[in-house]
A and B are shown apart, each in its own frame.
Chain A
Amino acid sequence: SQQGEEDPQALSIQEGENATMNCSYKTSINNLQWYRQNSGRGLVHLILIRSNEREKHSGRLRVTLDTSKKSSSLLITASRAADTASYFCATDENTGFQKLVFGTGTRLLVSP
């Protein structure tokens, strides 16, 4: 399987703290994306970082990408209870067409 791995599998923090999730993958990629899934629902796109970028910001989200280590991290700053969800990374493999392969996900619980 080409599926990536996310770490940690679960994370529990208090409101106001920062949450960091890591993603490792196995193949050459065009870009890496992060998605969020509220319980039992479809996924929602958060941010996309291209293979030639090292860092990207969007609101309270910060994503880094290290292609030499085949890894990425998602940082959520000043977390809120509403950030409670599962977070997935997805790699767009360099195959000539878009093949999105997802990781196993991190379950984030933010307590008030």
Chain B
Amino acid sequence: DVKVTQSSRYLVKRTGEKVFLECVQDMDHENMFWYRQDPGLGLRLIYFSYDVKMKEKGDIPEGYSVSREKKERFSLILESASTNQTSMYLCASSLLGGGRGTEAFFGQGTRLTVV
């Protein structure tokens, strides 16, 4: 079974802290994604990556950065956490697909609270 593992299920951080959310997948997938999920807004794409060291901005990249130094690991960084970044963060991965499209596999989510 494909496994996408997020480092924490729940996290509480203080305003201004630098926060690292880690995601690891074990199926050699090229694509990895970070989303945030808020009530009534669905999932919004923050960043995605299609290869090691490659990254593309999603729809809401402001206040976030990412790192992909190894194929299996994709990190989301909140440079200076703010209360409006309190949310559920979801990581996903998928095969490259070659234009035919492939399903994404999701981690269990990290519920981040910034106080």
B104 touches A100 (CB 8 A): yes
Residues of chain A whose beta carbon lies under 8 Å from any beta carbon of chain B? 1-3, 6, 9, 30-31, 33, 35, 40-45, 48, 50, 88, 90, 92, 97-105
- Whether A43 pairs with B90 at a CB distance below 8 angstroms is yes
Max count, chain A CB within 10 A of own CB: residue among B41, B56, B90, B99: B99
In the bound complex, what is the Cα–Cα distance between A112 and B64 (angstroms)? Answer: 43
Q: What does the 1/0 interface line of B77-115 toward A look like (CB < 8 Å)?
A: 000000000001010101011011111111111010000
- 11 extra A-B contacts, CB within 8 A, seeds A6-B42, A104-B41: A33-B103, A40-B109, A40-B111, A42-B109, A43-B106, A48-B103, A88-B43, A97-B31, A98-B31, A98-B96, A100-B92
* Contact indicator A42/B33 (Cβ below 8 Å): no
Residue of A nearest to B102 (CB): A98
Report the count of interface residues on B (CB-CB < 8 A): 33
- CB pair B42–A3 under 8 Å, yes or no, is yes
Contact of B45 with A by CB under 8 A: yes
Give the complex CA separation of A50 and B42 in angstroms.
Answer: 22
Partner of A42, one of B41, B90, B94, B97: B90
Interface of A: prevailing SS: strand
Please measure, in the bound complex, the distance between the C-alpha atom of A43 and the C-alpha atom of B40, giving whole angstroms. 16
Report yes or no: B42 in contact with A99, Cβ–Cβ below 8 A: no
12 pairs of residues in contact across A and B, judged by CB atoms under 8 Å: A1-B44, A6-B42, A33-B103, A35-B104, A40-B111, A42-B106, A45-B103, A50-B100, A50-B101, A101-B59, A102-B44, A102-B45
Assess whether B48 is interfacial by the CB under 8 Å rule.
Answer: yes
B24 CB to nearest A CB, Å: 14
Partner of A1, one of B4, B59, B90, B102: B59
B90 with A30: CB separation less than 8 A:
no
The 9 closest A-B pairs by CB, nearest first: A42-B106, A31-B101, A104-B42, A45-B103, A102-B43, A43-B106, A97-B50, A92-B101, A105-B42
Q: Are A30 and B99 within 8 A (Cβ)?
A: yes
